[in-house]
Amino acid sequence: LSHKGVIGAIVGSADGIAIRSSMENNSTVQYCGLIQQLTAKARSALRDLDPTNDLTFLRIRSKKNEIMVAPDLLVEKPHSLIR
């Protein structure tokens, strides 16, 4: 977490259970549970609007913080695009 302003990072399961966290346990449990519920609602709303659509990224910005949620994870090599 060497980026300026980053308070913490959490890796969690789709069920809202923390797998890894750089935050204190109480904060981790609270974030995981609430973000899991919010992500499920957002995904459901998108599918209600268009059944072929899915949530790929969720950004929540408040006066104090910003939370970025990526429900799926993709790791790729840089410059690996075929031209």
pLDDT in tens, 40-73: 999 999 999 999 999 999 999 999 999 999 877 6
From 77, 76, 58, select the one nearest 66 (Cα to Cα): 58
In this structure, the chain runs to a length of 83
> Domain coordinates of the chain in residue numbers?
10-69
Q: Report the mean per-residue pLDDT for the chain.
A: 87
Cβ atoms of residues 31 and 10 within 8 Å: yes
Per-residue pLDDT tens over the stretch 13-46: 888 899 999 999 999 999 999 999 999 999 999 9
| Contact between 59 and 43 (Cβ < 8 Å) | no
Query: Which residues lie closer than 8 Å to 18 by C-beta, 6 or more apart?
Result: 10, 11, 12, 28, 29, 32
Tell me which fold the domain 10-69 belongs to. Beta-Lactamase (3.30.450)
